[in-house]
DNA sequence: CTGAAAGCGCTTACAG
DNA sequence: CTGAAAGCGCTTACAG
């Protein structure tokens, strides 16, 4: 039916007052008598008035939309991030425009430009590994590792790793293998650093799958390490953990009876596999809330200060250890079910 | 630095011509002499002119932004969808605003309203199961099952299932168990219907995990069926397949040596597990292209016809069988590596 | 407390 | 082929 939506002046006409007054009343600037303001609001409701964001944007220079730049939408962690950001933004009355910096750093730059062209008031960037985002002419909140310069908010990856390390130590593991993907990833180093710190009394060995020695040959073979006495395998992500888990199972090494496998991120499949994966989870909603709050504040005070990376917060959100069943080696742990919501399997496909 | 961006009138002033002419030249309406148009474009480039979308939106009533409504951003299939849509939209010069209809149908309605309030020109909706979206006052493209009324474009789920069924038949399986999650899901019925049709000569049995008998007790136990002679397990999603796979392995039933497990969607972990999952994949980019094209056309012709669900296309995009290693029962298949890109593990966490 | 007026930066008939 | 003018729907000083 595409009814032409009522505009502000229509409310004004009906009430025989000026558009300015309607605008003031609706924006709650308080320059209107309580009584009149109430009548205006009622009329607006009655007419189903929805302000034109385009007009407002043109006038105020603010669109009420922020951009979300992700290194790769295909990233399995993306749903968690996007969902948390979308929720927080919606609560803050902001729209979220997404952009995928798929592939290259160049693509990241393009994505940022694309968003700017679309007039976002600010953006949240999960930068590509090793990337820095310069001044882009609008406020930016970065979600990265706490050790990254320019970071605004992030989970406490080191602390999360420490929790996991303590857990494994308590279970009695003495030889633990730590498996990382990219040796120059700050996040991965933070995570494994925490694990190592908690396992100072045990034997740990760290291997990086992107190292030359690994890249050649058939790569990593968990059974080999198992034969060497390693009973626990700590990976830097659940995807890697899944890989190790199924490898071991496939080779007849029981998990958690004979070996323990754990990951990070609590990806949606972590609770679906048998045995369920023990993992370390970030509090994405908290990260998102902080990022949005910082961004919003920066947008609001933007007029005064120059637009810059939002550095106000620099928060470090704690991580949570999610103990499930893969906790060997002697199966001490019965595995509590996690309290938080997991991805609804029901909506998998319809 | 937030330099005030140059506006159209500045170009006009510098060239000592009218704003109208600049506008015409830049929008390529062709009412400007080629020579002048060229000079205008050069000046625009030189000044780094970026049109104000807000102003254009106010004037034309079109924002150049579409909304993407997903049933649940947490859905593991979401990354594929979002990425494909974002790519197609960007190519079409459109921005994508996301909305999560998490949880309820009510939330879906709210999400749609939220997007409308933000002035999207149209939207792409992946509706919640069993949901219909009424007229919302702007063009809508629905991505659902081909059998769903109002559907605009979708993968050929039945056809994909048929491919999988044929494959299993060719491998010599005689007793195949089909496992669905929601007995009233159109997509799932389409998929399993296709499988069944191709396996007409074999024995198939279908169970639904949401049926009362399943809901009670400990639910589904693959080993029980294996003992009963079933050698192939077809699930309606890779997540389910992963569950079955790890269950079997955990119980000492080798895959693919003793049993075959397959799924749908080619979720990012499908190629990471051992053995890699055989699955059926939709061509998301094709789906996205069709949806965006249909939407764009509807937006452009919107003035004339009333806004409605886009029904132009109703396309049925073919699905692809991805044969990997889980294809038993006699391990005939050596498992080709899939040709398409899988989610870059590298960006898992940084 | 309320209103008249200007203007945000474009595009689009309409003239010339 | 080019330009003058109006207007999209708001908000914001500025008066009263």
Q: Which residues contact B36 (CB under 8 A, 6 or more apart)?
A: B17, B21, B25
**Residue B149: inside a domain:** no
B89 shares its domain with B237:
no
How far is CA B215 from each of CA A272, B179, B182, B184, B193, rounded to the nearest angstrom? 16, 14, 12, 15, 23
- What are the strands of the beta sheet with B95-100, ordered from one edge? A140-142, A122-125, A65-70, A95-100, B95-100, B65-70, B122-125, B140-142
Which residue among A74, A98, A302 sits closest to B343, beta carbon to beta carbon? A74
B106 shares its domain with B206:
no
Q: Which residue is nearest to nucleotide C7 (CA to C1')?
A: A59
How far is CA A131 from each of CA A101, A125, A135, A295, B270, rounded to the nearest angstrom? 12, 11, 13, 20, 29
Q: What pLDDT was estimated at residue A309?
A: 52
Structure tokens at A194: 């925490």
B167 shares its domain with B245:
yes
Q: What pLDDT was estimated at residue B339?
A: 28
**Residue A3: inside a domain:** no
Q: Is B34 exposed, middle or buried (0-12, 13-18, 19+ CB in 10 A)?
A: exposed
| Cα–Cα distance, B193 to B201 (Å, whole number) | 14
A98 shares its domain with A182:
no
Which residue among A90, A246, A346 sits closest to B246, beta carbon to beta carbon? A246
Structure tokens at A199: 């396992």
DSSP code at position B219: -
Domain count, chain B: 3
| Cα–Cα distance, A215 to A199 (Å, whole number) | 27
| Cα–Cα distance, B87 to A99 (Å, whole number) | 9
Local mean pLDDT, 10-residue blocks, chain B (350 residues): 73 89 85 85 91 93 94 80 93 93 84 91 88 83 83 91 97 96 92 98 95 72 94 97 95 93 95 95 95 91 53 75 67 34 30
B222 shares its domain with B256:
yes
How far is CA A350 from each of CA B68, B142, B147, B183, rounded to the nearest angstrom? 17, 13, 12, 10
Closest CA to B326 of B236, B258, B224: B258
**Chain A residue closest to B249 (CA)?**
A249
**Residue B109: inside a domain:** yes
Q: How do B319-322 and B278-282 pair as beta strands? A: antiparallel
Residue with tokens 């909140």: A141
A208 shares its domain with A104:
no
Structure tokens at B307: 């806004």
**Residue B266: inside a domain:** yes
User: Could you report the per-residue pLDDT of A210-256, keeping only the tens digit for each?
Assistant: 888 776 656 789 999 999 999 999 999 999 999 999 999 999 999 99
Residue-number span of the structural domain to which B92 is assigned: 65-138+284-317
A327 shares its domain with A241:
yes
| Cα–Cα distance, A43 to A321 (Å, whole number) | 52
Q: Which residues of chain A have pLDDT under 70?
A: 1-4, 30, 215-218, 302-314, 325-350
A327 shares its domain with A275:
yes
Q: What is the CATH number of the domain that holds A305?
A: 3.40.50.2300
Q: What is the CATH number of the domain that holds A34?
A: 1.10.260
| Cα–Cα distance, A195 to A169 (Å, whole number) | 10
**Residue A111: inside a domain:** yes
Total CB pairs under 8 A between chain A and B: 270
Q: What pLDDT was estimated at residue A233?
A: 97
| Cα–Cα distance, A190 to A196 (Å, whole number) | 10
What are the DSSP calls for B18-55, one per residue? Answer: -HHHHHHHHTT-S-S-HHHHHHHHHHHHHHT----HHH
Strand C nucleotides with an atom less than 7 Å from a protein beta carbon: 1-13
Q: CA–C1' span, B62 to C10, in Å?
A: 12
B274 shares its domain with B295:
no
Q: What pLDDT was estimated at residue B215?
A: 65
**Residue B151: inside a domain:** no
B161 shares its domain with B300:
no
Q: What pLDDT was estimated at residue A77?
A: 86
Q: CA–C1' span, B20 to D4, in Å?
A: 9
| Cα–Cα distance, B313 to B153 (Å, whole number) | 7
Within B 34-73, residues with CB less than 7 Å from strand C: 49, 51-52, 55-56, 58-60
Look at phi and psi of residue B137 and say left if phi exceeds 0, alpha if psi is from -120 to 50, else beta.
left
**Residue A253: inside a domain:** yes
Nucleotide with minimal C1' distance from the CA of A21 is C2
Q: What pLDDT was estimated at residue B129?
A: 78
Backbone angles phi, psi at A254, to 5 degrees: -70, 135
Contact A118 B54 (CB under 8 A): no
CB neighbours of residue B71 within 10 Å: 26
How far is CA B325 from each of CA A217, A339, B120, B171, B340, rounded to the nearest angstrom? 20, 35, 45, 12, 16
B161 shares its domain with B198:
yes
A167 shares its domain with A312:
no
**Residue B267: inside a domain:** yes
Q: CA–C1' span, B6 to C16, in Å?
A: 30
How far is CA B126 from each of CA A29, B68, B132, B154, rounded to the nearest angstrom? 39, 8, 10, 10
Q: Which residue is nearest to nucleotide C3 (CA to C1')?
A: A18
Q: Does residue B223 contact residue B247 with C-beta atoms inside 8 Å?
A: yes
What are the DSSP calls for A298-312, one per residue? Answer: HHHTTTTSPP-B--S
Contact B268 A349 (CB under 8 A): no
Residue with tokens 């007229």: B135
- What are the strands of the beta sheet with B260-264, ordered from one edge? B203-208, B175-180, B232-235, B260-264, B278-282, B319-322
DSSP code at position B143: B
CB neighbours of residue A144 within 10 Å: 22
How far is CA B32 from each of CA B17, B41, B56, B59, B313, rounded to the nearest angstrom? 12, 12, 20, 21, 36
Q: How far is A200 from chain B (nearest CA, A)?
A: 24
The 3-state DSSP class for residue A294 equals: helix
């Amino acid at each position: 039916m595409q009814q032409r939506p009522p505009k502000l002046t229509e409310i004004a006409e009906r009430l025989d007052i000026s558009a300015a007054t309607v605008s003031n009343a609706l924006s709650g600037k308080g320059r209107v008598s309580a009584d009149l303001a109430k009548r205006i609001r009622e009329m607006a409701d009655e007419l189903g008035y929805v302000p034109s964001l385009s007009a407002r944007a043109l006038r105020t220079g603010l669109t009420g939309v922020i951009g979300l730049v992700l290194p790769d939408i295909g990233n399995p962690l993306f749903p968690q991030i996007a969902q948390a950001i979308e929720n927080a933004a919606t609560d803050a009355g902001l729209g979220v425009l997404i952009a995928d910096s798929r592939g290259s750093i160049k693509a990241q730059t393009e994505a940022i430009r694309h968003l700017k062209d679309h007039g976002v008031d600010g953006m949240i960037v999960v930068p590509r590994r090793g990337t820095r985002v310069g001044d882009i002419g609008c406020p930016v909140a970065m979600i990265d590792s706490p050790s990254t310069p320019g970071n605004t908010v992030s989970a406490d990856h080191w602390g999360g790793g420490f929790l996991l390390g303590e857990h494994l130590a308590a279970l009695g593991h003495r030889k633990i293998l730590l498996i990382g993907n990219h040796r120059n990833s700050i996040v991965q180093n933070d995570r494994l650093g925490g694990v190592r710190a908690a396992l100072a009394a045990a034997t740990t060995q760290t291997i990086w799958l992107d190292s030359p020695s690994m890249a050649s040959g058939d790569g990593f073979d968990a059974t080999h390490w198992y034969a060497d006495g390693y009973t626990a395998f700590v990976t830097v992500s659940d995807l890697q953990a899944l890989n190790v888990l199924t490898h071991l199972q496939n080779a007849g090494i029981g998990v958690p009876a004979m070996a323990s496998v754990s990951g990070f991120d609590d990806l949606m499949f972590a609770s679906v596999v048998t045995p369920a994966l023990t993992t370390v989870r970030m509090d994405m909603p908290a990260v998102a809330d902080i990022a949005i709050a910082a961004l919003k504040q920066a947008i609001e005070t933007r007029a005064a200060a120059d637009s810059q990376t939002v550095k106000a917060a620099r928060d470090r959100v704690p991580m949570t250890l999610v103990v499930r069943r893969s906790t060997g080696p002697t199966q001490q742990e019965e595995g509590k079910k996690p309290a938080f919501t997991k991805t609804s399997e029901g909506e998998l496909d319809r």
